[in-house]
Amino acid sequence: MAFDIDMIKAVYAGMSEKITAARQVVNKPLTLSEKILYSHLWDGKAKNAFQRGKSYVDFAPDRVAMQDATAQMALLQFMQAGKDQAAVPSTVHCDHLILAKEGAKEDLRSSLTASGEVFNFLESVSNKYGIGFWKPGAGIIHQVVLENYAFPGGMMIGTDSHTVNAGGLGMVAIGVGGADAVDVMAGMPWELKFPKLIGVKLTGKLNGWTSAKDVILKVAGILTVKGGTGSIVEYFGPGAQSLSATGKGTICNMGAEIGATTSTFGYDDAMERYLRSTDRNDVADAANEVREHLTGDDEVYSNPEQYFDQVIEIDLSTLEPHVNGPFTPDRATPISELKAEAEKNGWPTKVEWGLIGSCTNSSYEDLSRASSIAKQAVEKGLKTKSEFGINPGSEQVRFTADRDGLLKIFEDLDATIFTNACGPCIGQWSRTGADKGEKNTIVHSFNRNFSKRADGNPNTHAFVTSPEMVAAIAISGDLGFNPLTDTLTNEKGEQVKLDPPFGAELPEEGFAVEDNGYQAPAKDGSTVEVKVAPDSKRLQLLEGFDAWDGQNITGAKLLIKALGKCTTDHISMAGPWLRFRGHLDNISDNCLIGAVNAFNEETNKVKSQITGQYDAVPATQRAYKAKGIPTIVVGDHNYGEGSSREHAAMEPRHLGVKAVLVKSFARIHETNLKKQGMLGLTFADEGDYDKIQEDDTFNFLDLKEFAPEKPITIEVVHADGSKDVIKTNHTYNDTQIEWFKAGSALNKIKEEAKARG
């Protein structure tokens, strides 16, 4: 029996009428993405067609999901919204705050001690506001959502960029900041710029060593980390139907790494099989009744160039396994070329660790295929030359894999089985020796490989590939090893070759679990008390940000001009800083400490215009704030790439930064800045980035006339008294400008609630 089956049936009941209305106003066949978007309009049936990439549209998502690191700030904000209960089905998943170190049991026990205060807070808030709670150890949010909540044709948002994983079951699932989640949980419309559409036609069928992961690794190489920005990627074609549901989830999951709003697939037999195997026959039966509405129209897929803004075609039959990296997930290298690339670029070829897991690749199928390689190694007298670690995706996956002997195979190869949690993927990894900063290489099945992300060492060269390739490369210990062609020497001195992987799409005996880790909320949470200790180092009740004073910002100083890639990991690091995700002031001490200063090419070292001395970014900014001096941050392209981490917007806002001026933004981060009452601006002329000097002062000349599509002019005064007047653009609409005026979107919600009495 599925969770929230009545809600799912209600979505399907209204789908035909809404899609018919949409087809009439659009006056053409519809993609799957358009069907889902138009059937989730806040105002009901479509009355007019929206412009892709231009129209701001209010939607009514079906559900919300939050992981423990982002849920803290989301729920601290929701507590201020004055609501008794979440307006849509919502869940919290405890998967980020579990450190990988010794192994599953020890690590879970340690994390319950270290983060018990936070887990108790999340549990009590969930209990009070009718939110489902998944305990620590229950699994990684996106795997748990796929197993329990995702449904074809649905729309959900989640406070994690990899919420998009649910596209593997035909959803439009979008990563957002916590303030967006508050809107939906408070029963308000959720706003999104109507996305452009990228179609990916898959032909052929995967074979040999190639996996679903290689599809998205290939796409990332084509589109780059910003090529999908503002777009939904819709996969279709005979190749798409040949993929498993969890394989589809893997592909959608890493769509976050190309900046896509989300990715999705049409409902098919593989999805139906997955629904039935995860005890959701009722969802499968309901989906079958509206099957025609759960995929794109035939005309769309027959002539995709007429209906998508961009079309890519990939033949799965000829696709080669890829290994992407280091330091960016879009540097795509076919395995046959990796050895030469490593030699050319001086990458360390000795592989220290192989890691399997994360929300991208931790399904039963993933473990099954990787274990087939591990089993061969044991049988052929091979041992891993790299250390080896496994993070199962959920307790259901772990329990079933253990029952079927898969975990025993990994253990026979001396692998460490970590907790059902994110672990090393998000920097929650106590890696021995990482503090030495030595140059080294690791391979993993995760989604991101930014500098310092996994272990805090900037010299760790991390490469992204499939679980089966991770296993093969870890066994060889050599980055240049190509299991398609190369042999290995076993304990007897014999040359042996690994056979291609094989595995089960779904467990033959079905899934099993004794305790999946779910805790239902109280039916009436009115008497539940949520306590936050005033002296807590982990949690801090929020105070509203100050409203705009209606005046032009003048005398603003430059905090930092960031050089090159500046992701949310650079703006607000994870790893050990995760423990402060519920305490805005404490976590603000990591604000922009990973960003590279364009003037000295160092991190966390900027010049103060108060003292003329160089200091840490947070300390410098706190000094500006203490003296009431406004500041701005300047950045390069795709600023805020990476996760949905709204702390990357809240921290500079809390510390007194007024505006972020960049060449271009990543989608989620730009929205997060707007939600928190910040100015997110882009250079009208990208060349003006080069005009910004270290001792500059900024005067906003026409902010008092802030209006949609009206550029904002800034006078840049240099230290020698010379000036440059630059034009900046923005994408704020009337509603978002009201957020800015009120000080934040949450302030606006409270204003409106107060006005209603």
With residue 214 as reference, give the H or E element that holds it: helix 212-223
Q: CA nearest 551: which of 427, 675, 658?
A: 658
579 in catalytic set: no
SS3 for 656-711 is CEEEEEECCECHHHHHHHHHCCCEEEEECCHHHHHHCCCCCEEEECCHHHCCCCCC
Residue 142 near residue 357, CB atoms below 8 Å: no
In angstroms, the CA 594 to CA 566 distance is 8
Distance, CA of 361 to chain centre: 14
Based on the number of CB atoms within 10 Å of its own CB, is 208 exposed (0-12), middle (13-18) or buried (19 or more)? middle
Task: Based on the residue annotation, tell me whether 581 is a catalytic residue of this protein.
Answer: no
Give the HSE-up count for residue 41: Cα atoms under 13 Å, Cβ half-sphere: 22
d(CA 497, CA 462): 25
Which one is catalytic: 448, 579, 581, 730?
A: 448
Q: Is 412 a catalytic residue?
A: no
645 is catalytic: yes
Active-site position among 93, 96, 431, 444:
96
Pairing of β 172-175 and β 90-93: unpaired
Query: Does residue 535 have an active-site annotation?
Result: no
Coil, helix or strand for 350? strand
Q: What is the DSSP string of 510-568?
A: ----S---EEPPPS--TT------TT-SSB----PPPPP-SS---SEEEEEEB-S--BH
Residue 756 annotated among the catalytic residues of the structure: no
Write down the catalytic residue from 162, 645, 653, 654: 645
Enumerate residues 6+ apart whose C-beta is below 8 A from 322: 213, 214, 217, 218, 221, 332, 333, 334, 335, 465
Q: How far is CA 270 from the centre of its chain?
A: 25
Residue 636: Cβ within 10 Å count: 18
Annotated active-site residue in 68, 95, 268, 404: 95
- CA-nearest of 410, 398, 399 to 467 is 410
> CA-CA distance, 147 to 140, in Å (whole number)?
11
What is residue 101's DSSP assignment? S
Question: Which residue in the block uniquely carries the two structure tokens 């059902």?
Answer: 420
Q: Are 444 and 358 in contact (CB under 8 A)?
A: yes
Which residues 6+ apart lie within 8 Å of 437 measured at CB? 457, 458, 459
- Give backbone dihedrals phi and psi of 287, rounded to 5 degrees, phi first: -65, -40
Which is catalytic among the residues 33, 643, 644, 664? 643
Spatial CA neighbour of 259 closest among 638, 696, 548, 754: 638
Write down the catalytic residue from 62, 107, 160, 214.
160
In this structure, the chain runs to a length of 757
DSSP 296: -
Structure tokens, 680: 């997110």
Q: Tokens 């500046």 identify what position?
A: 566
Q: Which residues are catalytic?
A: 95-96, 160, 448, 643, 645
